[in-house]
Structure 1
Amino acid sequence: MKGVIFDFNGTMFLDSDLHEAAWLYLIQKYSNRTMTEEDILKNIHGKTNDVILRHFLSADLSTEDIQQLSDEKEAYYRKLVVESPEHNTFTTGLTDVLAELKIQNIPMTIASASPKVNMDFYFDYLNLGKWFYEEKIVYHDGSFPGKPAPDIFLIAAKKINVSPEDCLVIEDSYSGLQAARNAAIGTIVAIDPFHQNRAIFQAEKLAPDGVIDDFSTFSSTYLK
């Protein structure tokens, strides 16, 4: 392993509940659709906003509609983050991992389905600039297909000048783990803090290199 690519939401920052709440708010506001547990696993987390909106609201939404609805959802989500005292820090153990990666001079970046407006928010809210170069972050900008397509991880690997087979990807979402597999990433690790999805991850062999609860033992396991 010569480089590390982190997913962000639900991986570095345990905010999956807030994203689910924001999507539920938006979907109930504009449709009669419901969200099942399978929807949350396979059609929400890891997916880009345009894909989610067309799946739940209408396949015929215009680009302008997508942007307006996406902006509304993300503004509501960011409001939930700021108002939640439980959502103001990284996942347990992550700062120690980031420090160790810096010490070992191992290239690292973030590959997220989030739009730029959210990544800008995280750079301010969580001081991401202490650990990451903003120009090396990969976020959803509409220029490549989202997860489970491999593009996001291939782009991230290129940005840190490490071949995909020499990268470690850490992901929490079903689609993200599929994307890592599709990108032929050399080491794929899932994070499942609340033990919700590890059975399906393991059954479908989406996390061949392990499933972790948090980053407490990450360095001793993967950075030896």
Structure 2
Amino acid sequence: MQGILFDFNGTMFLDSDLHEEAWINLIKKYSKQELSEADIIHSIHGKTNDIILRHFISADLTDEQVEQLSDEKEAYYRERVLAHPERIHFTKGLEAALDTLKANQIPMTIASASPKVNMDFYWETFALAKWFDPEKIVYHNGTFPGKPAPDIFLIAAKKIELAPADCLVIEDSYSGLQAAQRAQIGTIVAIDPFGKNRGIFEAEGLAKDGVIEDFTNFISTYVK
């Protein structure tokens, strides 16, 4: 492992339940579909907004409608984040890990399915400039297919000037782990802070290099 590609939501920031709440609110408002746990695992987390909206609301949504609905969902989500200031912090152990990686000049970036409006929010809220180059962060901008396609990690690896085989991906989502596999990432680690998905990840061989709960022992385990 020579460089690290971080997913953000549910990985660096434990906000998966807030995204779920925002999606359930939006889908109930515009659709009669009910979301199951399987829907959330396989068809929500890690997916881009356009894919989610066309799957759960209507395959016939125009690009303009997708943009409007996406903006509505993300505004609701950010309101929920700001309503819980006590939760606005990195996953346990992550800040110390980032400091160590930065001090040792390990190339790293963020590869997230989030839209730019959310990445801008995170950039300010979490002071990401302390560790990351904004030009190297990859987010969903509509120019490449989202997870589980491999593109996001291939682009991110290129931005830190490494081959995918020389990178480590840390991901919390089913789709994200599939994308890492398809990108032929050398080291793939899942994070499952609440023990909800470990069984699925391990049963399907999606986290070949382990499942962690937080970043407490990340450096000693994965950075040699």
TM-score range, shorter chain: over 0.9
Number of the residue aligned with 1:174: 174
For the residue of structure 2 that corresponds to 1:109, the secondary structure is strand
Residues 29-56 of structure 1 deviation map (CA, whole Å, 9 limit, x = unaligned): 1111111000000000000000000000
- Return the letter of the residue paired with 1:87: R
Number of the residue aligned with 1:192: 192
Deviation (angstroms), 1:86: 3.5
Number of the residue aligned with 1:13: 13
Q: Gapped runs of 5+ residues in structure 2?
A: none
Number of the residue aligned with 2:58: 58
Provide the rounded CA distance (Å) in 1 between the counterparts of 2:160 and 2:199: 32
- Return the letter of the residue paired with 2:57: L
Provide the rounded CA distance (Å) in 2 between the counterparts of 1:105 and 1:121: 26
Deviation (angstroms), 1:87: 2.1
- Return the letter of the residue paired with 1:30: Y
For the residue of structure 2 that corresponds to 1:119, the secondary structure is helix
Number of the residue aligned with 2:155: 155
Q: TM-score, normalising length from structure 1?
A: 0.99
Q: Percent identity?
A: 70
Number of the residue aligned with 1:96: 96
For the residue of structure 2 that corresponds to 1:18, the secondary structure is helix
Which segment is superposed worse, 202-211 or 80-89?
80-89
For the residue of structure 1 that corresponds to 2:169, the secondary structure is strand
Number of the residue aligned with 1:113: 113
Number of the residue aligned with 1:144: 144
Residues 146-173 of structure 1 deviation map (CA, whole Å, 9 limit, x = unaligned): 0000000000000000110000000000
Number of the residue aligned with 2:76: 76
Which segment is superposed worse, 14-23 or 86-95?
86-95
Distance 1:179 1:113, change over 3 A: same
Provide the rounded CA distance (Å) in 2 between the counterparts of 1:145 and 1:86: 34
Residues 36-88 of structure 1 deviation map (CA, whole Å, 9 limit, x = unaligned): 00000000000000000000000000000000000000000000001113321
- Return the letter of the residue paired with 2:95: T
Provide the rounded CA distance (Å) in 1 between the counterparts of 2:178 and 2:88: 29
- Return the letter of the residue paired with 1:18: L
Structure 1 residue runs of 4 or more that deviate by more than 2 Å after TM superposition? none
Which segment is superposed worse, 209-218 or 78-87?
78-87
For the residue of structure 2 that corresponds to 1:111, the secondary structure is strand
For the residue of structure 1 that corresponds to 2:86, the secondary structure is coil
For the residue of structure 1 that corresponds to 2:95, the secondary structure is helix
For the residue of structure 2 that corresponds to 1:113, the secondary structure is strand
Q: Gapped runs of 5+ residues in structure 1?
A: none
The answer to whether the aligner puts 1:223 opposite 2:223 as a matched pair is yes
CA RMSD of aligned residues (A): 0.5
- Return the letter of the residue paired with 2:124: D
- Return the letter of the residue paired with 1:202: E
For the residue of structure 1 that corresponds to 2:27, the secondary structure is helix
Deviation (angstroms), 1:103: 1.4
Residues 156-204 of structure 1 deviation map (CA, whole Å, 9 limit, x = unaligned): 0000001100000000000000000000000000000000001010011
Provide the rounded CA distance (Å) in 2 between the counterparts of 1:87 and 1:95: 15
For the residue of structure 2 that corresponds to 1:86, the secondary structure is helix
Deviation (angstroms), 1:104: 1.2
Q: TM-score, normalising length from structure 2?
A: 0.99
